Every structure is written in structure tokens, then in C-alpha cells.
């Protein structure tokens, strides 16, 4: 009687589910072990302390490369590789800004990543202040000519970090759009959810073919101060930015593997990025991503028997300045059909609240099993498929590799992102461990299975929205 | 029957209480008006925006003096005075610090207030790191010789801000005690309750007769980073501090009055300090103290009839670097017997939770009335008497002037204190208004009374603890 009430599909799921009982047990044990494991904390502590900030092209980044290789070895990874690629580097010099009128006041700044420098004596000009990027673009012809543009658009705090893309346009396109209109410099309100004076850097448009101008970020209170002062009368600001570039520099993607026991040529690619900005110590961005994925794979590697498929952890070498994703795809083109899944951890270390799967995978019995294993960690499986698993796997994604996204709570992430305050004391050990528990248990299930995400996607009905 | 159950004292209190019924009504109306009044917000906004940071001896401080006079005039104060006193000034120059070994890393610093400078080329030395001030003092003979001392003692967060005095010894005495032991420079963990990289300044021991060495503060994450690195091996740091002094500079205490209607020569002296550190805009320290006391007096001044006694608001001119309290006492020695009460607002702008009265005053019927007026603001009258009402009234206190203390919640205050983050966006308008409501209603009751705090203290039994 009981069984007749079930649909054929559900019966199939239950029967198949039984087939995963042993895997679910192993995955659950991994999960619970991870919650009390300090491997990820130790990796984060060591990378941020022993190496510190690690900008692409810096001596620290070269030390970080050696650190990555040594860490993989120490944790039992095999097939360790260092894949070099060309990456022009940029090095920050002395930076300063000062309000000149209506009265002199120093402004704490940080140059935007890869900004062009000012002349050595700096640039001083009247201010054209806009409360949004759109206001600047809509300004009348000539309004920006010879001015230092200040854009004070704020960022909205959300759990998924969705305010970043919207507010970030000031940083990404502010300098190029202001340059087109004749401005001589740009200061943006930091792309930040905090109320802090600490300014946020991050890459702006750059390159040989990009026409741009010197650009920097100011803290939130300074942006609000300039807004209030601009309402009272004209402002003048002096800005000095120094930097150097090396067009012939290189970067490295570093990887290590937990070799599959039955189908070692089928590979799951996960990781974080090893490079960071030169302010802070790149703790949340992205030492913890390195730590979470490395620790998860290491816990799986410690099992009496490795799962069927290979798990490869990649420490991508140039996320902040771009390039590691393209370089990784280029170096692994031939292997793409055998990469069964990709994922990246790069939104800090606060707790994961949702798993986004490749399209069409949600109904698969293994994924139902995964949902059950993740539920005690307070993680649900989102109905929306993963569309973008991380900047460093976007190359693989574009080549058709299915990806997942373990969504971290980003409410707090953009308080510290790209600042001198991205430091170890912002990492919460218990939430870091919850991340490792999710990655380890989910990865194990996929690695010990035959699930084919590409086939599931091909069979899925088209999205109705 | 009812009355016979009361003691004679209580009956007396109730009868006298009736005498205060009209005053209680006026005080309650003032309280409720203040909760919706934006005078204090506007003063805070104007001082922090139009003047900005205002270090003693700076051009900004001179503008602040003129601002204070203009503000008193605009708000209807009378008998406005500018009292000049001698105050040697100190001006910060360029400052930098760098970890040299085990690897190069910039350290954000702020020189301690009135520190001596380094030689122009800076000072570089091996580090002697101590986790507490006491550890440094206990170090073996010679351990500090030629070293840069780093003290990483943390500050404890408490509602009353009591962690400040304990941790502050690193700043106050660290440089002089390290100098005695042969050190060449000092870096302290900021005296801070935050987890931020933004360093906290504040005055250290200085003067012609003080032997000291160049000293600065580092942020909390940097202090923790140095602790971790010191556990792994030796550190070297390079420190550069520039500053200039002007031994012949001056400062000003500025005051304005709401003249008493019946006993104008009896004076209540309240206020905040107009000077600030040169980082941030001195919003919580102490634009809001100026704003709270000025707005409270202004609301009283707007009444159809002024209370009997005079209320004088003083904008003290050199709290951070010391001197305004002594100068105020010196200038008002002859008037001291007529100063019936003193109070200062100088712990930010978060809500007041307690009132501390002069010893012996708690049982007075007027103070019982005051307790009733303050209760709806969630303020209780503390059983402990006020022993220290503020740095700028300590001179008056030493001369026997009774003082009160309206205790602000300082849980958050030392996150921002003496930093670039002490800015307007840390002020919460509703809590600022609660402060004004408390000051206005309490002041009115005392100003419209004959209460003699000196006599009450003389009659009080000696404290039993």
C-alpha cells in the first residue's frame, strides 16, 4: 500500500538513495570532523602571517608561490604543478590627497588598482561632485573639464553581496568615463558597506588601449564630508599618485591533487586565489578561500580510501588583477571534457547558507542525498542554478565545465574587502569550519560518484524565467 | 491612616516635592521637546563639517574659536567671553613605519600626541615585543637597549569605558619607561576596543623635563600580526616621525551664558571641549559634548522665563593636550564660591544611562524630583557619588566645586576615540537627543532652585567604602 502511493520517479530516487547510503555516511562523518578541524584556520593564519600581502608581481607573491607548493606537499597532495603565465604587474608608490579649499584637510586615500600615476608634483583642481555614477554621465558637456571628479555613490549591504556590482561601476568605469569628459582625476567613495574611514582599492579599467586618469578611493566619512562641504561652496583637492608597471612580469597558477581511486582522469577543480591586494593581508580575500578548499580536499585525502574521481585544488595566481582564469583555461583546454565540475571559494569566510547546483542537477538522487548531508549545517539547495561560480573558473565555465556555488553570507564581507582591514582578526573560526564541512562533504559525494552534470543539464527543461 | 505610615523625613520630602511640581512640569516639557530637537545635531554637523579637525595651535582651532563665539551669539547666549591662555602647540608632520624583517610590509601608524620626532632619516632597530606594559617594566636589564619596543596590551570593552585607564598606561607611560631602559622608539597597540586597522592617537608624556623617545600607535590587526611574527623569529622595524612645536602658542576657553532671572551671580558651569585631535573631525570627541551642553542651555534660554541661576556653557580650548582646566580655574578663582555646580559632556554621544550626583545630594527632594524626570529617558540615579565629572572641570573640582556626571554608554566610544574614524557618521541622532533631554531637564531643575550641594556634602555621612 505504501509504495503504491509513490510516483515511479520517487521510488527510483529512494532506491538509488539507498545506493548512496554508505557515501552519505562517509560524507556526514567528514562534515562532522571538519567542524572541529583547524587545518583551514592554520592555513589562513600561516598565509596571512608568514607571507602577508601578496600583490601580483611582488616579491611576496613569489614567496607565496613557494609557500603554496610547500603547503600542498606537507598536506599530502600529489601531482603538484606550478603553471606560469605572462602577467604585467603594477606596484603602488606614495599616495596622498588633501582638501585645499575651503580649508586644508588631509584625505586618507588608496589608489585604485592599476591606476595611472599623477605627475610627480600631483594634480590640483576644482571638484565636480556627483552623488551617483549616472549623475556624472548625465552632466552637461564641459562640466568635468579640468576638474577632479568625486563620485559618492554608496553601496547597499545585502546577504548575497549583490550591492557590489551596482555600486562598483564608479570604480570600474568612473575613471574612463570621467577621462572622456575631460576630467583630470577621480576620487570615488569606497565601494564599501562599512562606515569606516579605511578606503577600499580594487581594479579599475587599465591597459594600453584604455584612456584613463589618476583615480583613488576615499573612506565613507570623507565622502560624506565632501558631500556636505560641496553643498556649502566650491571645493579644491590636490591628488598625488605614484606607481610603476612591469609589462614583462609573470604569475602562476599552482595546483595539487587528491588522486581518484578508480577514475583518476575525471577531475573536480576547486580552489581560491593566492594573490591579494597590497593593503591588509588578504585574509578574507582570499586566504580563507585557499584554506577552505585545501582543507576540504586534505580531509578527503586522509580517508582510508580516496573517492573514485580526482579532486584538484588550484591556488589561482592573479584574480585581483585578472588573468588567472584565462591562463588556466588555456593550459587545460585539452582536459576540459574530463573536468566534471568546478567551484571557487572567494567571498570571505562567513557561513555558507545555500548551494547552487548546475542546471538540471537538483532532482538527481545524489544531490538529494547531498541536501540531506548539508541540512544540519543550515545550508539549503537553491532552486536557482549556479550561473557564476567565481572569477577564476569563469574561463572553464565558458568552455562548458559545470560549476557549483556554495553561497557565503556576504553581509559583512564588503566592510573589509580590498582594505587594510582585511586581516586575520576578521575571520571567525567556527564559520570557517562550517565552510570546510560543506565543501568536504559535498565534494566527497560528487567525487565518489558517476554523476554527469553535463548530461543532466542537456536533459533539463529550459528555464521558465 | 496613610500619612501615619510615613516617616517624618518622607513626609517632608513629599511636601517639599509638591513645591517642585511646577519645575518638574517645566523640566519634563523641556525633556520631551529636546527629544525631537535638532539643535545639537546641527551644531555637531556644523563644527565637524565647517571647521573639521581642530588641533590646539592649528589655523582650524582659531577658526573654531570664531565659530564658537558666532554660535553662542546665534543661539541667544549673552556675556560671551574668549579667555586666552598660554599653550605650547605641537604639529604633526609626515609619519611612516615599515616592518623590515622578516619581510617588508608597511605598517599604518599615527604618532602619539606630542611625541618627539625621529631623526629625518628615521630609526631602524630590532624589536622587543611585550604583551603587556608590566612585562616591559619587568624585562631584564639591557633587554630594551637600542630596540624599538612594541607593546601589544589590549583594551577591554566595558559600558563605563573603564578599560581605558588600565590599557592607556602603554600610551601614557610606555615611551618614558622604555626610554629609561634604553629603547630608541615605541609602537603601541592602539588603545582601542575595535578590531580595526585605524590607529588611535592620544597624548603621551611630554615636556622639557620629560625624557622620552619617538612613539606611535599601530592598528589592532597589525599588533596581532607582530605578536604572531615575533613568536616565529626576530623582527626589525623602521619608524619615521616628524613634528614641530611652538612654545609660545595660545589657546582659548570660550563661554556664553543663559543669564539667571533671580540670582544671576550663582552659576552652573557646563560644557565640552572645542579642540580635537588632528585625525578625524572630532565628532564624538568632543563636538557632541559641545553640542549637547549648548543645545540644552539654548532650550532653557528659549523658555518664557529663565531659571533663577545662570547657566554658563564653556567650550574648553585644550583638553586633548591638557591645560584648559587649569587655565579656567586660574581665570575664575574669585568666582569659585558662586559656582554651584559643574559638569562636562565628553564621552561621545551614545545614550546616558546614569546620573552621578555630588556626595550627599541623592536624598534631597529636588534630586528625587530629578530622578523622576530622568526615569523615562532610562536614566537612573547612581548610589555612587560623582568623583570625576570630566577633565576640563577637574580644576574646579579641586577647588571644591561640586560636580555631576551624566554617564554615557561608552561601549562603542573607544572604537573611534582619537582616530580618523571619529566622524559625524558615528553619531546617532536619537541618542544625541536623549543626551540633550537629560542635560536640559536636569539643569533646569538645579538652575531654578536654591539647592546647595556644598552644604549637602558637608552634612553627608562619610562614605562607608
Q: What is the pLDDT of residues B397-423, one digit of tens each?
A: 999 999 999 999 999 999 999 999 999
Residue A297 has pLDDT above 60, yes or no: yes
Residue A358 has pLDDT above 70, yes or no: yes
Residues B51-68, mean pLDDT to the nearest whole number:
98
Residue A281: closest CA among A47, A61, A40, A92: A47
First-to-last alpha carbon distance for chain B, in angstroms, is 38
Percentage of chain A surpassing pLDDT 90? 93
pLDDT digits (tens, 9 = 90+) for A8-50: 545 455 555 567 999 999 999 999 999 999 999 999 999 999 9
Q: How many whole angstroms from its chain centre is CA B310?
A: 24
Nearest-angstrom CA–CA distance, B281 and A135: 28
pLDDT digits (tens, 9 = 90+) for B182-236: 999 999 999 999 999 999 999 999 888 899 999 999 999 999 999 999 999 999 9
* Greatest distance between any 2 Cα atoms in chain A: 87
Residue A77 has pLDDT above 70, yes or no: yes
B382 burial via Cβ count (<10 Å: 0-12, 13-18, 19+):
middle
Q: How many whole angstroms from its chain centre is CA A198?
A: 20
In b/e form, how buried is each residue of B348-365, taking b as 16+ CB within 10 angstroms? bbbbbbbbbbbbbbbebb
Question: Three cell numbers at B218?
Answer: 599601530
pLDDT band (50, 70, 90) for residue B3: very low
Question: Three cell numbers at B426?
Answer: 558615528
Nearest-angstrom CA–CA distance, B385 and A30: 59
Give the closest of A103, A221, A425 to B221, CB-based.
Answer: A425
User: What backbone phi and psi angles, to 5 degrees, belong to A79?
Assistant: 50, 45
| Strands of B285-417, DSSP E | 309-316, 339-344, 352-356, 380-381, 405-408
Nearest-angstrom CA–CA distance, B447 and B442: 9
In b/e form, how buried is each residue of A174-206, taking b as 16+ CB within 10 angstroms? bbbbbbebebbbbbbbbbbbbebbbbbbbbbbb
Residues of A in CB contact (< 8 Å) with B are: 45, 48-53, 59-60, 63, 103-105, 108, 195-198, 219-222, 224-225, 228-229, 232, 280-281, 419-421, 423-426
Residues of A in contact with B424 (CB under 8 A): 221, 224-225
pLDDT of residue B4: 47
Residue B202: closest CA among B320, B323, B93, B116: B320
pLDDT of residue A390: 95
Question: Three cell numbers at B32?
Answer: 520631551
This prediction's pTM: 0.92
Residue A444: closest CA among A272, A311, A262: A311
Nearest-angstrom CA–CA distance, B459 and B175: 45
B319: annotated active-site residue: yes
Residue B352 has pLDDT above 50, yes or no: yes
Nearest-angstrom CA–CA distance, B270 and B255: 10
Nearest-angstrom CA–CA distance, A406 and A288: 14
Does the distance separating the beta carbons of A63 and B228 come in below 8 Å?
A: no
First-to-last alpha carbon distance for chain A, in angstroms, is 38
pLDDT of residue B18: 62
Does the distance separating the beta carbons of A426 and B197 come in below 8 Å?
A: no
Residues of A in contact with B60 (CB under 8 A): 103
pLDDT of residue A465: 44
Nearest-angstrom CA–CA distance, A200 and A219: 7
pLDDT of residue B1: 43
Question: Three cell numbers at B234?
Answer: 626576530
Residues A351-371, mean pLDDT to the nearest whole number:
97
Q: What is the mean pLDDT of chain A?
A: 95
Q: Is A279 helix (H, G, I), strand (E, B) or coil?
A: coil
Residues A417-424, mean pLDDT to the nearest whole number:
98
| DSSP secondary structure letters along B248-285 | T-EEEEEEEEE--SSEEEEEEEEEEE----SSTT-III
CA–CA distance from A129 to each of A134, A143, A150, A228, B437 (Å)? 12, 10, 5, 11, 37
Residues of B in contact with A45 (CB under 8 A): 228
Within a 10 A sphere around the Cβ of B278, how many other Cβ atoms?
Answer: 26
pLDDT of residue A208: 84
| Strands of A115-213, DSSP E | 123-130, 148-151, 185-189
Residues B312-331, mean pLDDT to the nearest whole number:
97
pLDDT digits (tens, 9 = 90+) for B370-388: 999 999 999 999 999 998 8
Q: Chain B residue closest to A55 (CA)?
A: B105
Nearest-angstrom CA–CA distance, B421 and B93: 20
pLDDT of residue A1: 42
Residues of A in contact with B104 (CB under 8 A): 59
Q: How many whole angstroms from its chain centre is CA B279?
A: 16
Give the closest of B53, B228, B420 to A108, CB-based.
Answer: B420
Q: Parallel, antiparallel, or unpaired: how do β-strands B380-381 and B352-356 relate?
A: parallel
Please report the ipTM that was assigned to this predicted complex.
0.89
Does the distance separating the beta carbons of B51 and A221 come in below 8 Å?
A: no
Residue A437 has pLDDT above 90, yes or no: yes
pLDDT digits (tens, 9 = 90+) for A97-131: 999 999 999 999 999 999 999 999 999 999 999 99
Residues B292-319, mean pLDDT to the nearest whole number:
98
Amino acid at each position: 500500500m505504501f509504495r503504491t502511493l509513490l510516483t515511479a520517479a520517487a521510488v527510483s530516487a529512494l532506491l538509488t538513495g539507498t545506493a548512496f547510503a554508505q557515501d552519505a555516511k562517509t560524507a556526514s562523518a567528514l562534515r562532522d570532523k571538519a567542524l572541529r578541524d583547524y587545518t583551514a584556520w592554520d592555513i589562513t593564519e600561516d598565509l596571512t602571517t608568514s607571507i602577508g600581502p601578496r600583490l601580483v608581481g611582488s616579491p611576496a607573491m613569489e614567496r607565496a608561490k613557494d609557500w603554496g607548493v610547500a603547503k600542498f606537499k606537507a598536506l599530502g597532495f600529489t601531482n603538484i604543478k606550478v603553471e606560469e603565465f605572462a602577467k604585467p604587474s603594477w606596484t603602488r608608490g606614495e599616495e596622498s590627497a588633501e582638501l585645499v579649499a575651503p580649508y586644508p584637510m588631509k584625505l586618507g586615500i588608496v589608489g585604485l588598482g592599476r591606476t595611472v600615476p599623477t605627475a610627480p608634483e600631483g594634480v590640483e583642481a576644482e571638484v565636480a561632485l556627483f552623488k551617483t555614477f549616472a549623475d556624472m554621465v548625465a552632466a552637461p558637456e564641459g562640466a568635468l573639464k579640468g576638474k577632479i571628479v568625486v563620485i559618492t555613490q554608496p553601496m547597499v549591504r545585502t546577504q548575497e553581496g549583490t550591492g557590489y556590482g551596482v555600486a562598483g561601476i564608479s570604480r570600474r568605469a568612473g575613471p574612463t568615463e570621467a577621462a572622456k569628459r575631460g576630467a583630470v582625476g577621480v576620487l570615488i567613495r569606497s565601494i564599501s558597506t562599512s562606515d569606516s574611514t579605511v578606503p577600499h582599492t580594487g581594479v579599475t579599467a587599465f591597459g594600453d588601449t584604455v584612456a584613463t586618469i589618476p583615480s583613488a578611493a576615499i573612506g565613507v566619512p570623507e565622502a560624506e564630508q565632501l558631500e556636505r562641504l560641496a553643498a556649502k561652496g566650491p571645493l579644491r583637492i590636490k591628488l598625488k599618485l605614484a606607481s610603476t608597471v612591469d609589462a614583462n612580469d609573470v604569475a602562476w597558477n599552482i595546483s595539487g591533487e587528491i588522486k581518484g581511486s578508480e577514475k583518476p582522469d575525471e577531475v573536480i577543480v576547486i580552489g581560491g586565489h593566492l594573490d591579494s591586494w597590497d593593503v591588509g593581508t588578504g585574509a578574507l580575500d582570499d586566504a580563507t578561500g585557499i584554506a577552505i578548499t585545501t582543507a576540504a580536499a586534505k580531509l578527503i585525502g586522509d580517508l582510508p580510501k580516496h573517492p573514485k574521481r580526482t579532486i584538484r585544488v588550484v591556488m589561482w595566481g592573479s584574480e585581483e588583477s585578472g588573468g588567472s582564469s584565462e591562463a588556466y583555461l588555456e593550459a587545460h583546454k585539452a582536459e576540459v571534457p574530463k573536468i566534471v565540475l568546478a567551484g571557487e571559494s572567494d567571498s570571505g569566510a562567513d557561513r555558507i547558507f545555500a548551494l547552487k547546483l548546475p542546471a538540471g542537477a537538483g532532482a538527481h538522487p545524489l544531490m538529494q542525498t547531498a541536501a540531506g548531508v548539508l541540512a544540519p549545517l543550515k545550508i539549503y539547495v537553491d532552486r536557482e542554478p549556479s550561473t557564476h561560480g567565481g572569477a577564476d573558473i569563469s574561463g572553464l565555465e565558458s568552455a562548458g565545465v559545470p560549476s557549483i556555488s556554495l553561497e557565503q553570507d556576504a553581509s559583512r564581507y564588503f566592510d573589509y574587502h580590498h582594505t587594510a582591514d582585511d586581516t586575520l582578526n576578521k575571520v571567525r573560526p567556527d564559520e570557517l569550519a562550517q565552510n570546510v564541512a560543506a565543501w568536504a562533504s559535498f565534494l566527497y559525494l560528487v567525487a565518489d560518484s558517476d554523476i554527469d552534470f553535463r548530461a543532466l543539464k542537456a536533459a533539463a527543461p529550459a528555464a521558465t524565467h
